[in-house]
Every structure is written in C-alpha cells, then in structure tokens.
Amino acid sequence: MTVCIENAQHPLIIDSGAHCSIVARNYLDNHFPNLENQLLPSKANNFKSTSGKMTSIGTIIKEIIMLHRKCKIRLNPEFFVLDDSHIQGFLLGTDYQRMYGVDIYNSKNRHITNGTKK
C-alpha cells in the first residue's frame, strides 16, 4: 500500500508475521536526508530473517497517514532502522497493533475449530 510520510508517498508493507516494524537504512538515506538527527538508540541490535542476520543502527518514529475514502488514519509507529536490509519502503509489523491495544491473535480466549460447531 502507499502511505503519506512527511508530505510524500512511500510504500508500506503490513506484515502480520513480523514481530516489529522495520525500514532499511539505504531507503531512509535516499528519502530522508536528516536521518542522523532523527535516529534514536535501539535496545535490540540483532534481528534474524529468512535471508539471514540483520543489524539495527537505531529506531526512528515516523507519522504515517493512510488515506481512506472517508478519513485519514494516522499512526506513529517506531521503526527499527536496519543497516543491511534491502526493503524498499517501510514494513509495519505487529508491534504497532499491540501499541494501540489490538490483539490480532485472540490470545486471551483462543478457540480453534475444524469446521464443526461446539
């Protein structure tokens, strides 16, 4: 999907399998020149993906505006900035949902059925 960040359009992937939100440093360098001034320290430094190990150089908070027919949806997620990722855009993981109190996993009362009624 395309979202608006700092008055420009950027690609955003919503990944329900990703534990946290990430963005590649090279993408930020190309689109946000003052990256060093906005970078916050990161508590987690090493990440693993199917393509291998990745290193975080910090975090960044960006206001995302999702344009909808009837309204604008605004989010302020924190993205881990990965030094060795090749994602061209922002990846929104499930951490932003937990931040807003959304439980997509139904972890309190999880019921799994196989097409039969209880």
Query: What pLDDT is recorded for position 52?
Result: 74
Most confident of 44-48, 56-60, 112-116: 56-60
30 domain-assigned: yes
**∠16-18-24 over CA atoms, to 5°?**
125
Q: So what's the pLDDT on residue 96?
A: 80
Please report whether residue 108 resides in a domain.
no
pLDDT of 109 strictly over 70: no
Residue 81 DSSP one-character state: E
Higher model confidence: residue 26 or residue 112? 26
pLDDT tens figures, 49-106:
777 788 899 999 999 999 888 888 899 999 999 988 888 999 999 888 777 776 666 5
Structural domain includes residue 57? yes
In a domain, 111, yes or no: no
Indicate the average pLDDT of the chain: 83
- The pLDDT of residue 106 is 57
User: What pLDDT score was predicted for residue 107?
Assistant: 58
Residue 48 is part of a domain; what is its CATH number? 2.40.70.10
Question: Which residue range forms the structural domain that includes residue 22?
Answer: 2-99
pTM of the model: 0.79
The answer to whether residue 45 scores a pLDDT higher than 80 is no
Q: Residue 113 — very low, low, confident or very high, per pLDDT cuts 50/70/90? A: very low
The Cα 10–Cα 88 span in angstroms is 9
